[in-house]
Amino acid sequence: MIRSRLLHPRLLSTSPSTTSRYRLRLSTLAFLTTTSVLVSSYFLWPSKYRGSPTFNHQPLSPSYFIPVTVSENSQAGPDLAVLTLSIPPDSHPLDKHTSSLDPIWSIFIKDDDIQVERPYTPLFGIGKDGVIKLWVKRYPRGEVGRWLHSKQAGDTIEIRGPLKTFPFHQGKWDEVVMISGGTGFSPFHQLLFRQLLRGNVAASTRFTLLHASRTLAELPPLSLLQPLIDFAVAHPEHLRLALFVDGASRALAPKSIVKHLEAGRIDKSSIGHTLGIPDGAWSWSSWISNLWTSGQPKIGDSDIRKKNVLVLVCGPEPMVATIAGPYGRNYSQGKVGGVLAELGFKAGQVWKL
């Protein structure tokens, strides 16, 4: 999920030495700053693709639309649907385009009725059979979302892409934390499917997903959640998963997600608890716990904030602002603020999708 807009899309110690850690921070900050400029330039600069033409029998491209077929539209919660799109064989991306399909990327869908386009993130990328699945929310004022919900199997819509949302590089970060709300889950599912669920268990990066929905019925479909839950249970060293629902009742939740379910919203306390961030309060119990588990007291040596960590945040704009601070001018990254700033995360460690 990338936020909607009208034909104007927007789219990162002292050991072994203080110097080396400083250089690492500068390197990460430079990478994120450069990425921010490139992504912002692509999505915010006056675009030659605005009003892009439509071509048949051409491969996918960001510069024009191609027609695809809706093969299924299934309800997946209140005002939520999973749409399955089938790309024609002659439009399926060739091997030479594979690198552009590395996560995280999106496509644009055009509402032919009012000539408006919106970005959506494929949940699984593109399958070998040319299938794309989208988790789409219908908003009262969301033109394209309502239009997509009305589509039936056999209907044709137009898409263009892929468009890079965030250039993830395997092995660049020790820890990647993803915080999502609503359909902001989609880019993170794409990332986790590509990096973990396809069998890349030997990956060096550890992932943590914190996802929030307003109700149990608005959680991602169990068909999407269950593989992540199973993987997190089997490989906790590679994936941690926490689901948050306002006033959720465990008695009403599917049994498979109960262990990962929390009542309430994602806030400072829940993020700190999930990531194991110390609250700064010293106590005899915490000292004895450290002593018992390690043989000697350890103070912050496993603190995630001191690692090469990346925190990705995607969801409704008020949630992003609360968690990571508001966007800057023209939806640039802006300063790190909100809960993450209070927890001690710095520029170069946080990215707002």
pLDDT digits (tens, 9 = 90+) for 75-109: 998 899 999 999 999 898 755 445 558 899 999 99
Residue 353: per-residue pLDDT: 93
* Strand ranges of the sheet holding 116-120, from the earlier edge strand across to the other edge: 116-120, 105-111, 156-164, 66-75, 80-86, 131-137
Q: What is the pLDDT of residues 226-237, one digit of tens each?
A: 999 999 999 999
DSSP label at 141? T
**What residue spans in the chain does CATH classification 3.40.50.80 cover?**
168-281+288-352
Residue 332: per-residue pLDDT: 87
Consecutive H or E run containing 176? strand 175-181
Model pTM score? 0.81
Whether the per-residue pLDDT at 157 is higher than 90: the answer is yes
Residue 52: per-residue pLDDT: 85
Pairing of strands 66-75, 80-86: antiparallel
DSSP character string of 270-307: HHHHHHT---S---HHHHHHHHHHHSS---STT-GGGS
DSSP character string of 101-130: GSSSEEEEEEETTTTEEEEE--SS---TTS
Residue positions forming the annotated binding site for FAD: 118-120, 137, 144
Q: What percent of the chain has pLDDT over 70?
A: 76
Cα 129-11-89 angle, rounded to 5 deg = 15
Mean pLDDT of the region 48-72: 87
Residue positions forming the annotated binding site: 118-120, 137, 144
Thinking of the domain 66-164, which architecture would CATH place it in?
A: Beta Barrel (2.40)
Mean pLDDT of the region 7-32: 51
Q: How many helices (H) and strands (E) does the chain have?
A: 8, 12
Cα–Cα distance for residue pair 332/325, rounded to 1 Å: 12
Mean pLDDT of the chain: 82
- Work out the pLDDT band at 59, boundaries 50, 70, 90: very high
Q: What is the pLDDT of residues 44-57, one digit of tens each?
A: 433 333 578 999 99
- Work out the pLDDT band at 30, boundaries 50, 70, 90: low
CA-closest candidate to residue 126, choices 80, 79, 159, 166: 159
The helix/strand/coil state of 351 is strand
Pair 88, 187: CB distance under 8 Å:
no
**What residue spans in the chain does CATH classification 2.40.30.10 cover?**
66-164
Residue 329: per-residue pLDDT: 87
Q: What is the pLDDT of residues 180-206, one digit of tens each?
A: 999 999 999 999 999 999 876 667 899
Residue 292: per-residue pLDDT: 47
Mean pLDDT of the region 156-167: 94
Thinking of the domain 168-281+288-352, which architecture would CATH place it in?
A: 3-Layer(aba) Sandwich (3.40)
